[in-house]
C-alpha cells in the first residue's frame, strides 16, 4: 500500500508503530505529502467541528417503555405471579394424582379381569329364586341392587351364558344378577360401573404372584382356594390355583392378602394352558390361575404396568412443574441477583 | 467539552460502570436503567445523525428495548457503547427503509444543536459545500465517516460494528476523504 493511502490513518493515529514510522519518514522527506497531511487534518477537524450536538429527548419515555413488560415475561411481577401460579397448580395436580387412592389397585386390576356381563338386561333382573340357577354372572351393577340371597354355587348354564351377547353393565338398568355375591363385588363395584368393557373369563389365567416366602406359596394359596371351593398345587416355580369361575374375583382378592398379584393378563392369549387336574370335583366352570411365584424383593413392575399411562402423565406434569419452578427461580435470581 | 461532542474514544469499561455485573463486561438486567441513563444521549445522537431528530427518539427507544432482550448475550468483548451502536445502526437502517429513502446528513447544518467550532473560523468554512460533499459520498463511505469522525469509534470498533475488516474501514475512509477533498477543493486553502 502506498504511503498516500495511509495518510488518513496516519492523521487518525490508527497505524501500527512500525508503519507509522515509515509514513512519518516519508512525510518528512516529501513536502507534497506534508501538504496532503495538512489538508486531511484540516478536513477532518472541519467535519468533526460541524457536527452538531443536538439535545437528546425521550429518555423518560424510554425508561417507561423498558418498565412495561409483557404479562408472560418472567422478569415482570405479573409474569412471576403467573408462572408461580402455573407451577403451583401443576404441583398440586401432580401430587393429587400421586397420592394413593383407596381401591386404586383393585380398580386397575379387577377391571381387567372382571367386569364380565354376559346376560341381556332382560335376563339380569331375576327373581330371588332364579338367582341360584345363574350363579356365575359377574356384573358391574351397583351392590345396592344385589339381592342379599345371592348364591355362590357353581353355575349350571355357564356355557349358555358365555354364548350370549355381552352387555355393558351400564345398560343393565342397575339390575344385579342374582348370583353376584355382594361381598365379592362390593369393593369393586364402583370400578365396574365405570368400566363398560366386558371380557370373557378364560379357563386359564396367569398371574405373577409375589410373596415374602415362596416356599409357603402353595400352602398359602391352598388356604385361599379351599374356602372358595378350589385347590392349589405346586408346579415348579408356579402354583396352579383352580377355582370356580364365579369365585375368581374372590380368589384374586384373597391372594392379595397373602402376596402381591402383580400382573393380570388382559386377554386370553396370555393365559397359560395347563392340564386340568384329574379327579377334581369342581364344576365345569372353573378357572385355573397359574401363579408364577416371585420373591417379594423382585421388581414391582406390575404396578407400573397397571398405572403406566397415568404415571407418564404424572411424570410429564412433574417435569413441567420443575421446569416452571426452575424458570421462576432463574428469573427471580436474575432480577434480584 | 470533547471536540466531537461525544464521549469520543474515552469510554468507561462496562464492568467498571456496572456494579451489579457478575463478570467483567457482563452487565445484568438490573443494570439496565443505569445503562440507559449513561448511554441514552450517545445512542440518541447516533440515531439522530442517521434519521434526524424526529425519528431518533423512536430508534433510541427501540435500541434499548432490544438491548434489554439481548443483554444476556453481551459478552463484553467490545465496549458496551459500541454494542449499543450496533443495535442502533440496525434500527436506523430499518427505520430509514420504512420512512425515508435516503439517510439524511442535514444534521450537519441543523440548528437544533449547538455547533462546535473548535477554533475554526466559521466564516471561512463553507458549511453548504461540506454538506453537499458529504451528501455526495456513497453510503458506505459516509457511514465510516460518521462512525469514525462523528460517533468517535476507532477503526476496529467501526469494523466490528459494520462486520467488515479493519483494512476496509481504513480504505473507505481514505477514499471518502479523497472525495471530500476533491469536492471542497475551493475552500481547502482557507482551512489551512
The C-alpha cell at A214 is: 415362596
Q: Which of B41, B108, B173 sits opposite A52 (nearest CB)?
A: B108
CB pair distance less than 8 Å for B5 and A53: yes
Highest mean pLDDT among A175-189, A320-334, B155-169: B155-169
Q: List all residues 6 or more positions away from B130 whose beta carbon is below 8 Å from its beta carbon.
A: A46, A47, A50, B108, B180, B184
Distance CA A91, CA A326 (A): 13
Per-residue H/E/C for A191-258: HHHHCCCCCCCCCEEEEEEEECCHHHHHHHHHHHHHHHCCEEEEECCEEEEEEEHHHHHHHHHHHHHH
Q: Do B64 and A44 touch (CB under 8 A)?
A: no
Alpha carbon distance A327, B149 (integer Å):
45
Each domain of chain A, given as residue ranges in start order, spans 4-49, 114-194, 204-305
Minimum-distance CB partner of B192 among A38, A47, A57: A38
Judge: A47–B150 Cβ closer than 8 Å, yes or no: yes
Q: What residues of chain B lie within 8 A of the CB of A336, using their CB? A: 30
The grid cell for A215 is: 416356599
C-beta pairs of A121-128 under 8 Å, 24+ apart in sequence? A121/A167, A121/A171, A121/A172, A121/A173, A121/A175, A123/A164, A124/A167, A124/A172, A124/A175, A124/A176, A124/A177, A125/A173, A125/A175, A126/A177, A126/A178, A127/A178, A128/A178
For residue A157, give the C-alpha cell.
Answer: 348354564
A31-35, A83-87, A196-200: which is most confident: A31-35
CA-CA-CA-CA torsion sign (B66, B68, B70, B76): positive
Contact between chains at B191 and A46 (C-beta distance less than 8 A): yes
H or E, element range at B160: helix B155-162
Flag if A42 and B32 touch (Cβ within 8 Å): no
Chain B residues whose beta carbon lies within 8 Å of the beta carbon of residue A5 = 171, 174
Residue A150 to residue B56: CA distance in whole angstroms? 90
pLDDT digits (tens, 9 = 90+) for A1-25: 688 899 999 999 999 999 999 999 9
Nearest chain B Cα to A42, which residue?
A: B191
CA-closest candidate to residue A47, choices A83, A8, A18: A8
Which among B29, B108, B192 has CB closest to A51?
B108
How many angstroms separate the Cα of A288 from the Cα of each of A147, B1, B24, B40? Answer: 28, 101, 76, 85
* Closest by CA position to B150, among listed B40, B14, B9, B35: B9
pLDDT tens digits along B47-65: 888 888 888 888 999 999 8
Which residues of B fall within a CB distance of 8 Å from A335?
Answer: 29-30
Put simply, the chain B residues between 23 and 62 with a CB less than 8 A from any chain A CB are 28-30, 32-33, 36-37, 40-41, 44-45, 48-49, 53, 56-57, 60-61
Q: Which residue has the higher pLDDT, A88 or A227?
A: A227
State residue A193's pLDDT score: 34
Cβ atoms < 10 Å from Cβ of A47: 22
- For residue B39, give the C-alpha cell: 448511554
Q: Is A43 part of the contact surface with chain B (CB cutoff 8 Å)?
A: yes
Which residue in A has a C-alpha nearest to residue B110's C-alpha?
A52
pTM comes to 0.46
Backbone dihedral region for residue B24 (phi beyond 0: left; psi -120 to 50: alpha; all else: beta): beta
Domains and CATH numbers, chain B: 1-104 (1.10.1740.10), 105-192 (1.10.10.10)
Closest CA to B20 of A258, A47, A93, A337: A337
| Interchain contact, A56 vs B112, CB within 8 Å | no
pLDDT of residue A319: 82
Residues of chain B numbered 147-176 and touching chain A (CB < 8 Å) = 148-150, 154-155, 170-171, 173-174
- Here the ipTM equals 0.74
- Per residue in A55-100, pLDDT tens? 888 888 888 888 766 555 555 555 666 777 777 777 777 777 666 5
Report residue A240 as a C-alpha cell: 396352579
Chain B contact set for A61 (CB, 8 A): 57, 61
Amino acid at each position: 500500500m502506498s504511503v498516500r493511502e495511509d495518510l488518513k490513518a496516519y492523521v487518525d493515529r490508527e497505524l501500527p508503530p512500525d508503519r507509522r514510522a515509515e509514513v512519518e519518514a516519508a512525510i518528512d522527506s516529501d513536502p507534497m505529502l506534508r501538504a496532503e497531511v495538512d489538508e486531511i487534518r484540516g478536513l477532518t477537524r472541519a467535519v468533526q467541528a460541524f457536527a452538531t450536538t443536538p439535545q437528546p429527548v425521550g429518555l423518560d419515555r424510554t425508561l417507561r417503555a423498558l418498565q412495561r413488560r409483557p404479562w408472560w415475561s418472567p422478569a415482570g411481577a405479573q409474569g412471576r405471579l403467573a408462572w408461580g401460579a402455573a407451577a403451583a397448580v401443576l404441583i398440586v395436580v401432580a401430587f393429587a394424582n400421586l397420592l394413593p387412592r383407596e381401591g386404586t389397585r383393585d380398580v386397575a386390576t379387577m377391571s381387567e379381569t372382571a367386569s364380565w356381563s354376559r346376560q341381556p338386561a332382560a335376563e339380569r333382573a331375576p327373581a330371588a329364586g332364579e338367582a341360584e340357577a345363574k350363579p356365575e354372572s359377574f356384573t358391574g351393577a351397583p351392590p345396592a341392587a344385589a339381592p342379599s340371597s345371592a348364591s355362590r354355587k357353581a353355575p349350571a348354564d355357564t356355557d349358555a351364558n358365555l354364548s350370549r351377547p355381552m352387555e355393558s353393565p351400564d345398560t343393565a338398568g342397575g339390575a344385579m344378577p342374582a348370583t353376584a355375591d355382594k361381598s365379592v363385588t362390593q369393593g369393586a363395584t364402583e370400578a365396574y360401573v365405570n368400566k363398560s368393557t366386558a371380557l370373557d373369563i378364560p379357563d386359564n389365567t396367569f398371574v405373577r404372584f409375589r410373596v415374602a416366602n415362596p416356599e409357603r406359596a402353595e400352602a398359602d394359596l391352598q388356604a385361599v382356594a379351599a374356602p372358595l371351593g378350589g385347590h392349589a398345587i405346586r408346579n415348579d416355580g408356579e402354583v396352579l390355583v383352580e377355582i370356580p369361575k364365579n369365585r375368581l374375583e374372590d380368589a384374586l382378592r384373597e391372594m392379595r392378602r397373602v402376596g402381591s398379584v402383580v400382573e393380570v393378563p388382559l386377554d386370553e392369549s396370555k393365559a397359560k394352558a395347563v392340564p386340568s387336574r384329574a379327579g377334581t370335583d369342581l364344576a365345569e366352570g372353573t378357572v385355573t390361575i397359574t401363579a408364577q411365584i416371585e420373591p417379594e424383593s423382585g421388581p414391582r413392575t406390575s404396578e407400573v404396568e397397571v398405572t403406566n399411562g397415568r404415571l407418564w402423565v404424572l411424570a410429564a406434569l412433574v417435569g413441567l412443574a420443575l421446569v416452571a419452578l426452575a424458570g421462576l427461580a432463574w428469573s427471580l435470581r436474575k432480577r434480584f441477583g | 467539552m470533547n471536540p466531537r461532542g461525544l464521549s469520543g474514544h474515552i469510554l468507561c469499561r462496562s464492568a467498571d460502570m456496572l456494579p451489579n455485573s457478575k463478570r467483567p463486561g457482563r452487565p445484568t438486567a438490573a443494570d439496565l436503567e443505569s445503562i440507559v441513563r449513561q448511554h441514552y444521549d450517545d445512542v440518541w445522537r447516533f440515531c439522530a445523525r442517521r434519521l434526524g431528530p424526529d425519528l431518533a427518539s423512536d430508534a433510541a427507544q427501540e435500541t434499548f428495548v432490544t438491548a434489554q432482550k439481548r443483554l444476556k448475550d453481551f459478552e463484553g468483548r467490545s465496549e458496551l457503547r459500541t454494542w449499543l451502536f450496533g443495535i442502533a445502526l440496525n434500527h436506523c437502517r430499518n427505520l430509514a427503509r420504512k420512512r425515508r429513502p435516503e439517510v439524511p446528513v442535514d444534521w450537519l447544518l441543523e440548528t437544533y444543536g449547538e455547533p462546535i467550532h473548535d477554533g475554526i473560523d466559521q466564516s471561512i468554512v463553507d458549511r453548504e459545500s461540506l454538506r453537499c460533499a458529504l451528501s455526495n459520498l456513497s453510503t458506505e463511505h459516509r457511514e465510516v465517516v460518521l462512525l469514525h469522525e462523528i460517533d468517535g469509534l476507532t477503526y476496529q470498533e467501526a469494523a466490528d460494528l459494520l462486520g467488515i475488516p479493519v483494512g476496509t474501514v481504513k480504505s473507505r475512509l481514505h477514499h471518502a476523504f479523497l472525495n471530500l477533498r476533491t469536492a471542497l477543493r475551493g475552500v481547502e486553502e482557507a482551512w489551512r
